[in-house]
Structure 1
Amino acid sequence: MKRREFLVAAALLPAASVLNAAPSSAAAAGGLSLQGAINRAGRQRMLSQRCAKGWRMLVDGVLPEKAKSILDGSIRLFDQQLVDLRALLPNDEIRSAHQLLESEWGRYRSLLTDIRADAKLVWGGSEATLSAAHKLTLAYERTSGTPAGRLVNLAGRQRMLSQRMAKAYLFRQAGVNPEPAREMLDTAMKEFSKALDELKTAPQNTAQIKSELALVDQQWFFFQNSLSQRAADDMKRAAASVATTSERILEEMDSVVALYEKL
């Protein structure tokens, strides 16, 4: 099974990120497609949750060096993609959704830079930013109007769910919004499993996509095992396991999204 290192920090990966990071604004302006925009807007959904996960890890002292890399790299990539998406705002719906995302991100970003911030405000900021990013992603999908666009969105949502599950686990473990976090985790696990089944049966799947989805299936098995550690004696070790497996499944799902984008 592949064990590629996952997006340590966007600034440290100038050539090519394993997350297929968005191109510079100049490159985007030269030819960002609607499928590419769906991918990037969908990745903003994921980053909204990954930022909260990284922040919680940092506050709780869970793999602190990795946590800082996750948080710093996610913030940097979110900033970059917001700029890149400005290159493709073809209608009023998309322009309005992009403006909303910029506004929500500005408020959320200021919280993420302070480990002393109120955890409930960080939780709320991650939810508001996720909602805005989802609206932008759907606006791009509607404008695209193709089956491939829907698959990019669906697979992209799996990336978000991988981070949402980890966020919910860590916040619940820390005693922050424990009941909403429990419900969020249970719901996200069901949604991920259902969508994975749908992706595996998509008629557009190529042999390479089927192979990548098989790897996702394997990682999903390990991730579920980590998430089931709800009464572990060593809670920090359990949190580290969730954080690590969520990164691995995110990496595999990002490869799937890239393949759907090429369709």
Structure 2
Amino acid sequence: MDRRVFLALAGAACALPLEQVRAARVAPAVAAGLSLPAAINKAGRQRMLSQRTAKAWLMLVLGVLPERAKALLAQSSALFEAQLAELKTLLPSDELRTLWLQLEHDWGRYRPLLVDIHSDAKAVWVGNEAVLASAHKLTLAYEKLAGSPAGRLVNLSGRQRMLSQRMAKAYFFRQMDVNAGPAAEMLDTAMKEFAKAHEELKSAGINTAQIRDELALVEQQWFFFQNALGMRDAGSQKKAATDVGTTSERILEQMDLVVGHYERLALGTPR
């Protein structure tokens, strides 16, 4: 990586506003090391970061909130690498070690594309999808090892974080007219999956009053997000792009709180 590019990205990450840092907080771990619920959370967050980095890169290319996009890209890339190192400390089986190595490999091929706005957009499409697939397999393996209903909810709610970014990413790819057809299908599928999973989370029997309140706030933001994603008039596209960029972050932040609550329930520490 060019040293000037690296320093610029690092500086942007340091200047990240508190609300953006909060949106990608590191989940708690037990004193003896990384817990399984925390590993599900972190591996699930890697899925989200695969999509968020692509979204931020697209925003930079399109000139949508460029300073904020630069900060998001730098912070998300740094967090991905930090969590990759943390997950390496909890690989108790050959399957998990193999899946972790695949994720490391896919990230190593994808990340260099993010440092240049002139990278091939189709290569960015392929790269983030590969990282998403390997991160998802690793998350499922941790969930299977945990074998608890609460662990499943950590995974499911964590996937909502990913979908918030996937919808935005698909929107911006469509706006760029890069893989426009598949991007439109991706957006439609992700919207349906998000709505279905939200209903499932609302009905979870272990929900606390705090979780129900957080999910209600997500629902409010989801209403605004759908409106932004649906804007197609030429005169509304600039506002819609800005709204997609900001609202996807608000949903992410809110869902991250929900994941944290489920993680603590899985650890037996609801508060």
TM-score of the superposition, structure 1-length normalised? 0.92
Amino acid in structure 2 at the alignment position of 1:51 = T
Counterpart-to-counterpart distance in 2, 1:13 and 1:146: 36
- Give the counterpart of 2:26 among 17, 22, 38: 22
* Cα gap change, 1:10 to 1:38, in 2 (>3 Å): farther
Name the Cα RMSD after superposition: 2.1
Displacement after TM superposition at 1:22 (Å): 2.8
Structure 1 unaligned segments of length 5 or more: list them.
1-7
Measure how far apart 1:236 and its partner are: 2.5
User: Deviation of residue 56 (structure 1)?
Assistant: 0.3
Equivalent positions of 1:1-263 (< 5 A) are 11-12=14-15, 17-19=21-23, 21-22=25-26, 30-263=32-265
Q: Deviations over 1:58-84 (max 9, x none)?
A: 011111101101111110100110001
- Which residue identity does 1:231 align to in structure 2? D
**1:212 is aligned with what amino acid?**
E
Mapped contact 2:211–2:258 kept (Cα < 8 A)? yes
Q: Summarize the Cα distance change of 1:98–1:224 in structure 2 as closer, same or farther, 3 Å threshold.
A: same
- Deviation sequence 1:207-250 (CA, Å, 0-9, x none): 11111011111111111111111224142322111101100011
Q: Where do 5+ consecutive residues of structure 2 fail to align? A: 1-10, 266-271
Q: CA deviation at 1:10?
A: 5.2
Conserved in 2, the CA contact under 8 Å of 1:55 and 1:115?
Answer: yes
**Structure 1 residues 183 and 98: CA distance shift in structure 2, 3 A:** same
Taking every aligned residue pair, what percent have the same amino acid on both sides? 65
Q: TM-score, length-normalised on structure 2? A: 0.89
Distance 1:62 1:13 in 2: 17
Check conservation: 1:54, 1:70, Cα contact below 8 A.
yes
Residue 34 of structure 1 deviates from its aligned partner by: 0.2
Q: Structure 1 residues 53, 217: CA separation in 2 closer, same or farther (over 3 Å shift)?
A: same
